[in-house]
């Protein structure tokens, strides 16, 4: 049975842990506010790029080609970009994402027999997971979420974009956690290359004949590479916001559980203390009775 000293030490330990989790919750809340603002501000831009490209591509002739639109009947090499966090203490954020990444990689192997999956690991947790299990990791990026900026997107895209154009990769997919709201995040699988299924919009039946300078083809040639950058940038922003939301929830739950445990331990402490006092009183009374009868 635990002594009063043991219970008292455990109470102090849980209180110290509670202070840490409470502080981490406040930090995550502040970071979440900035990350949520970033992704919610960027989403309209992402949708607008899709809208512009859908209108331009749909108006071109069928013989228009671009390296980033290249499709092949035989998929031999696939780049799978996996976006995780550098730090833990965010619940099942990384576990669910990595399970989905592994599941999708197996699904791709079944869909394209003989295809080789090349992993691009973003985040220390993903890098550690994939390397320990001997997955084919061709590039890794750590620490980018500490100071997330668009330059990180270019570094990631440079790993696979050129090789896709050269035919070394036939397909590029990104697996990231999507920020749905502050209470919910979910793994999301997005096709990056070849660019396909550009969102078709039918907001108006009126066809407007614009004058393009220098030409539609030149504008699309310029926008398609930017769309690839945007897809990766979107995945990073989504993951960053989702991570902070997951960490806030995890730390809030940990703080609440710590308070409940402290209440339970204090009750145990008081019961043990009361039992010790009762025992001492009985010993005193027993001693007094013994003296009287002597």
**pLDDT tens, the chain, 294 aa long:** 678 889 999 999 999 999 999 999 999 999 999 999 999 999 999 988 878 887 777 777 777 788 888 888 899 999 999 999 999 999 999 999 999 999 999 999 999 999 999 999 999 999 999 999 999 999 999 999 999 999 999 999 999 999 999 999 999 999 999 999 999 999 999 999 998 755 544 444 445 667 778 888 888 888 899 999 999 999 999 999 999 999 999 999 999 999 999 999 999 999 888 888 888 888 888 887 777 776
pTM for this prediction: 0.86
Q: Give start-end residues of each CATH 3.40.1380.10 domain in the chain.
A: 45-249
**pLDDT at residue 218, as a whole number:** 87
Q: What residues act catalytically?
A: 90
Provide CATH code, domain 4-24+251-293. Answer: 1.10.287.80
CATH fourth-level superfamily of 45-249? ATP synthase, F1 complex, gamma subunit (3.40.1380.10)
DSSP for the chain reads ---HHHHHHHHHHHHHHHHHHHHHHHHHHHHHHHHHHHHHHHHHHHHHHHHHHHHHHHTS-TT---GGG---SS--EEEEEEE--SS--STTHHHHHHHHHHHHHHHHHHHSTTPEEEEEEESHHHHHHHHHTT--EEEEE-STTTT--HHHHHHHHHHHHHHHHHTS-SEEEEEEEEEEETTEEEEEEEEEES---PPP--S-SPPP----SS-HHHHHHHHHHHHHHHHHHHHHHHHHHHHHHHHHHHHHHHHHHHHHHHHHHHHHHHHHHHHHHHHHHHHHHHHHHHHHH-
Q: Give start-end residues of each CATH 1.10.287.80 domain in the chain.
A: 4-24+251-293
């Amino acid at each position: 049975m635990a002594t009063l000293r043991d219970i008292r030490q455990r109470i102090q330990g849980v209180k110290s842990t509670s202070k840490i989790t409470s502080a981490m919750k406040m930090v995550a809340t502040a970071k979440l506010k900035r990350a949520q603002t970033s992704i919610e501000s960027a989403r309209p831009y992402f949708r607008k790029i899709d809208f512009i490209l859908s209108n331009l591509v749909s108006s071109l002739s069928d013989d228009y080609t671009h390296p980033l639109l290249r499709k092949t009947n035989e998929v031999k090499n696939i780049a799978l970009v996996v976006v995780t966090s550098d730090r833990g203490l965010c619940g099942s954020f990384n576990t669910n994402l990595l399970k989905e990444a592994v599941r999708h990689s197996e699904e791709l192997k079944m869909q394209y027999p003989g295809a080789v999956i090349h992993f691009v690991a973003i985040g220390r947790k993903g890098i550690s997971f994939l390397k320990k299990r001997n997955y084919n990791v061709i590039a890794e990026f750590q620490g980018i979420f500490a100071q997330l900026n668009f330059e990180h997107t270019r570094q990631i895209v440079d790993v696979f974009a050129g090789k896709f154009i050269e035919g070394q990769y036939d397909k590029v997919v990104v697996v990231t956690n999507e920020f749905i709201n502050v209470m919910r995040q979910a793994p999301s699988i997005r096709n990056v290359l070849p660019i396909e299924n550009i969102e078709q919009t039918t907001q108006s039946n009126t066809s407007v004949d614009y004058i393009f300078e220098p030409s539609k083809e030149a504008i699309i040639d310029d926008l398609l590479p930017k769309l690839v950058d945007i897809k990766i940038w979107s995945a990073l922003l989504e993951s960053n916001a989702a991570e902070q939301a997951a960490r806030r929830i995890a730390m809030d739950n940990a703080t609440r559980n710590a308070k409940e445990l402290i209440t339970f331990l204090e009750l145990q402490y008081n019961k043990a203390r009361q039992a010790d006092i009762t025992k001492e009183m009985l010993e005193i009374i027993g001693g007094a009775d013994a003296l009287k009868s002597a």
